[in-house]
Amino acid sequence: MVDRISSRRVAVNSLFVSINMGMLAFISYVNLGKESGTASWLYAPLSAAGAVLCCLWYRLIKSYRELNHWKHNVLYELEKKLPARPYYVQGQYIRGDGGKMYKPFTYIEVWVPWVFLLIHAGIAIYCVPWAFLWKFCSWVRHVW
């Protein structure tokens, strides 16, 4: 069961990476041939959707991490009744260096959604019509 959960987690990560890369590729394709500085009306909703997907993806990674943690705890408890304890011994070797050398994949894996989230946020910031907002704020300030 533990290895199947890990396989599912890898499949979910692949799905989210593919969706995010597809969204970014689509945004790049839409931007092809346009003057620099012009933004498409599609950027903001796609970036918002990408940001929501990244938040969901991050939450799923955390959920899979917690599930694997509890499954390993069950394995450790079952091993206490067995003559050999391979998972326990493996854990001792991993923790033998105080956790300096080995970082579980999940600790690295959780950064990927954040990277995509920053990219989507950058695109959203890029597509804001700053000149229009600046003129609008100047107008509001003048009126008041």
* Structure-token match 């579980």, residue found: 104
How long, in residues, is the chain?
Answer: 144
Query: Higher model confidence: residue 68 or residue 142?
Result: 68
Tokens of 63: 């959920």
How do the domains of the chain map onto residue ranges? 2-143
Predicted local distance difference test score (pLDDT) of residue 90: 79
Which of 47-61, 75-89, 110-124 shows the lowest per-residue confidence on average (mean pLDDT)?
Answer: 75-89
Tell me the CB-side half-sphere exposure of residue 17, using CA atoms within 13 A: 11
What's the per-residue H, E or C state across 11-46? HHHHHHHHHHHHHHHHHHHHHCCCCCCCCCCCHHHH
Q: What is the pLDDT of residues 49-74, one digit of tens each?
A: 999 999 999 999 999 888 888 888 88
